[in-house]
Amino acid sequence: MKRYLPLIAFLLVALVGAGVASVVYRTEEAANRARFEVIANEAVDRISNRVNQHIALLVATMSFFEANDGRVTRRALTRFVDGLDLDGEFDGIHGLGFARLSTPADDAEIVREIARNYGIERAVRPATDQALRAPIVMLEPQDARNREALGYDMYAETTRRDAMERAMASGKPRASAPVELVQEITNEKQAGFLVYLPLPLRDARGAGLREHAGFVYAPFRAGDLHAAALNTSYQLPVEVETLDTTGDDARVLYRSEAFDDEETTARYVVSRSIEVAGRQWTLRMHESPGFLRGRTNFYTFIVGAISLLLAAAIAASARWQIKAVESAHALHAISERTVKEKELILQEMKHRLKNAIARILAMARQTGARAASVEEFSDSFTARLQAMANAQDMLTRSRWQKADLRELLCTELDQVFGEALGGDRVAGPRVELDEKQSQAFALTFHELATNTLKYGSGAEPQGRLKVTWRLEGPPRKRMLRLIWTEQTEEAIREPETRGFGSRLIDANIIGELGGRVERSFGETGFSVTITVPHRR
């Protein structure tokens, strides 16, 4: 459980930090949403005000017609419209015009009126099954688009006729549903709408047929209207879709290029409704990329980063504290283990010293019993002590772990013969001996080498000594087999009595290591085969 404390501390602090960051994030999001709603309301106000200004122009034009008793010439209308400067100040409205209310029987008179006003022959179109017509007889300012609209009977088209009838019924400006204007003669078309205001008929001669002389009207291109409204003074960072939602069907009047219809990428969505000349418009808005530019959730990021750093610091501190405690415990354990190991080493040294002293005393007694003189005793005893010392030296260098068989053998042969045997005369795999094996083999090699020097191949000029070894058997029952072979010119007979050297070898190999010793005497030499368990 203790090792999980840093993680638990990190998670708890990070969780608290995440909660605080979440609160900050919600606060920032609420501020951004409130700011966007202000921008959205401003966009709605701009569009609504723009439309109302244009409708006010239409009302002013109606007043101009009424002031002239409905008898306005094309020249007078041109001067009036030029004074308004529609192209410079009122983008979105595509002109101001007059559509005369007539009957199909009046088509010839309408053609003559258009010819008087504009000097062109323009038939009334399209064909209609209605009792009334409302062809456009004047439309200013005059350009290629507006010239195309002259003579068009707006009453013949259902959407326009509905707006005209509502205007006649109410006597107020009424807008049409979205339509494609007759003026859209290029490939770049926009949705449009028209606003109509009925002009009362003041000539008594037509009173029995109808009550209105026609309609003062204005065509609007919705795209130009919205662009002019939203880009006034500065561009608002908002994407807009305007729908005409009057009645059951919602029809798109305008949609900005970057508007996300599915709202899959929008973060802030606002919907507003406005009334435009008797029709309901619904504006759906969401932010543009420029709205959030430079307004990232800075404080959320700062709080989150500080929370993570604090959590990491607390977790690291807890980890360091745990490591410090663990280090103290480990140090205490090492101290206790060192004391125990020291005691074990002292006991081991005591045991080894006792064994060494016992071995030395045994060698001294046996050597003294066979020595003929003090000098012979001294030489023999010193050589055997040196063999023990060689084994001790090799073990000491390996920190009392292992001694190499080849190195131990060569050391003893070098001590006896003056130089070690090499090449194929000493051959075998690398074998490591433990302390007990090292002591036993050191004395065995010394006794064999000394015996060879005195009585065997070492005593003859043509004598030859060869020592080989190998490992045999499966890994768990591995045996070390060492063969000491001497070739001599004269036959070597098996001695009738066993000397101290033979007993010492048997004591080491058989008694100490639990192995066996096989000796072979022949006409051409002598061999000793030593087999012992190989301990890893």
Q: Does 310 map to a domain?
A: no
Looking up tokens 């000793």 gives 528
175-186 average pLDDT score: 92
Higher pLDDT, 356 or 20: 20
458-462 average pLDDT score: 57
**Domain extent for 60:** 2-291
C-beta atoms surrounding 115 within 10 Å: 12
Same domain? For 390 and 279 the reply is no
Q: Does 311 map to a domain?
A: no
209-218 average pLDDT score: 85
Q: SS3 letters for 187-235? A: CCCCCEEEEEEEEECCCHHHCCCCCEEEEEEEEEEHHHHHHHHHCCCCC
123-150 average pLDDT score: 93
| Domain C-terminal end among 261, 291, 321 | 291
Same domain? For 274 and 386 the reply is no
Give the pair of three-digit tokens for residue 115.
């010819």
8 Å CB contact between 255 and 284: no
Looking up tokens 């051409």 gives 524
| Domain C-terminal end among 272, 291, 310 | 291
Same domain? For 376 and 511 the reply is yes
Q: Does 343 map to a domain?
A: no
Please, which pLDDT band fits residue 350 given cuts at 50, 70 and 90? Answer: low
pLDDT at 70 over 70: yes
Q: Does 316 map to a domain?
A: no
| pLDDT of the residue at 243 | 95
CA angle centred on 415, ends 413 and 420, rounded to 5°: 40
Q: Does 514 map to a domain?
A: yes
Same domain? For 258 and 396 the reply is no
Q: Does 409 map to a domain?
A: yes
Q: What is the chain's mean pLDDT, rounded? A: 83
Same domain? For 286 and 413 the reply is no
Does the predicted model carry a pTM greater than 0.85? no
Looking up tokens 């029987």 gives 105
Tell me which residue of 351, 191, 167, 367 sits closest to 281, measured CA to CA.
Answer: 191
What are the start-end ranges of the E strands in 350-445? 403-404, 426-427, 432-433
Q: SS3 letters for 131-196? A: CCECEEEEEECCCHHHHHHCCEEHHHCHHHHHHHHHHHHHCCCEECCCECCCCCCCCCCCCEEEEE
Same domain? For 379 and 287 the reply is no
- For CA atoms 332, 337, 338, 342, give the dihedral sign: positive
Please, which pLDDT band fits residue 522 given cuts at 50, 70 and 90? Answer: confident
> Tell me, what CATH number does 454's domain have?
3.30.565.10
| pLDDT of the residue at 468 | 92
Judged by average pLDDT, the poorest of 2-16, 280-294, 363-377 is: 363-377
| Domain C-terminal end among 226, 256, 291 | 291
Same domain? For 92 and 194 the reply is yes
**In the chain, what is the greatest distance between 2 CA atoms, to the nearest angstrom?**
176
C-beta atoms surrounding 293 within 10 Å: 9
Q: Does 67 map to a domain?
A: yes
Same domain? For 272 and 401 the reply is no
Same domain? For 385 and 280 the reply is no
For the stretch 277-298, pLDDT in tens is 999 999 999 988 878 765 566 6
For the stretch 45-55, pLDDT in tens is 999 999 999 99
8 Å CB contact between 199 and 213: yes
Distances (CA, A) of 193 to 20, 146, 276, 400: 52, 15, 11, 107
Contacts 24+ apart (CB under 8 A), 518-525: 519/494, 521/491, 521/492, 521/493, 521/494, 522/491, 522/492, 523/491, 524/487, 524/488, 524/491, 525/456, 525/457, 525/485, 525/486, 525/487, 525/488, 525/492
| pLDDT of the residue at 278 | 94
Distance of alpha carbon 205 from alpha carbon 498, whole angstroms:
168
Same domain? For 119 and 241 the reply is yes
> Tell me, what CATH number does 211's domain have?
3.30.450.350
Q: Does 498 map to a domain?
A: yes
pLDDT at 402 over 70: yes
| pLDDT of the residue at 418 | 60
390-414 average pLDDT score: 70
| pLDDT of the residue at 263 | 72
Higher pLDDT, 507 or 165: 165
pLDDT at 526 over 80: yes
pLDDT at 89 over 90: no
| pLDDT of the residue at 396 | 61
The domain tally of the chain equals 2
